[in-house]
Amino acid sequence: EAGVTQSPTHLIKTRGQQATLRCSPISGHTSVYWYQQALGLGLQFLLWYDEGEERNRGNFPPRFSGRQFPNYSSELNVNALELEDSALYLCASSSGTNANQPQHFGDGTRLSIL
Amino acid sequence: AQTVTQSQPEMSVQEAETVTLSCTYDTSESDYYLFWYKQPPSRQMILVIRQEAYKQQNATENRFSVNFQKAAKSFSLKISDSQLGDAAMYFCAYTGNQFYFGTGTSLTVIP
């Protein structure tokens, strides 16, 4: 069974640009979660999508947004990039609409802002 | 606001020995779940163990067990018979209306 896949592996941008990160969940999983893992800060919850709808979002500004497609894959968009956006962005997926299901993580996208 | 605190940034254990990783959380919710995840170096984060808050019985998974103290809002992870492959960053996580992770504990296993 293929796991959660994320692309690209690395992404280098400059301040003010926009970044798009992609995630494909495990087959059969309908929920996708996005996290930011900055050095020394653990994982910070960004967004939760299920069945194409945004179910919840963390304490991040509106320039962090995303969507979920009919095939349950997801995009995370970050507009007006700032230096502090440099981090590992992890995507996870789970089955069902219950937020208490264990999450399965991808390898992440390393976003570097120059 | 809900928070998850892991007060031990680094821990070490001798191979075959037992180690306990600490986690405390703060919440006003009554229905929630707690998780321990493991992130080996340069590898994917994987689930170690899960605890439902409404269950008094502590969860166990082979060599991994938890000590869940709901009143104290404490959720520690015990690893018995530590193996070299247990070396990783361990994250405690809380799921209620939102998702909160601790800052992690880096576990070193000494041969």
* B43-75: pLDDT as tens digits: 789 999 999 988 889 999 999 999 999 999 999
In degrees and rounded to multiples of 5, residue B31 shows phi and psi of -115, 115
| For residue B2, pLDDT beyond 70 | no
- A45 and B99 in contact by Cβ < 8 A? yes
Q: Quick one: how many helices (H) and strands (E) in chain A?
A: 0, 11
First to last CA, chain B: 41
Cis peptide, bond prior to residue A8, ω within 30 of zero: yes
- A58 and B102 in contact by Cβ < 8 A? no
% residues pLDDT > 90 (chain A): 86
Contact B92, B50 (CB under 8 A): no
- DSSP secondary structure letter of residue B86: G
Contact A15, A83 (CB under 8 A): yes
**Residue in chain A nearest B51 by alpha carbon:** A100
| For residue A19, pLDDT beyond 80 | yes
Strands (E), chain B: 3-5, 10-14, 19-21, 24-26, 33-39, 46-52, 60-61, 64-69, 74-79, 88-95, 99-101, 105-110
Residues of A in contact with B55 (CB under 8 A): none
Neighbours of A48 (CB within 10 A): 23
**Residue in chain B nearest A3 by alpha carbon:** B44
Contact B92, B36 (CB under 8 A): yes
Residues of A in contact with B46 (CB under 8 A): 104-105
Residues of B in contact with A35 (CB under 8 A): 99, 101
How confident is the model over A40-90, as pLDDT tens digits?
778 999 999 999 999 999 999 999 999 999 999 999 999 999 999 999 999
Q: What one-character-per-residue DSSP string does A18-36 give? A: -EEEEEEPPTT--EEEEEE
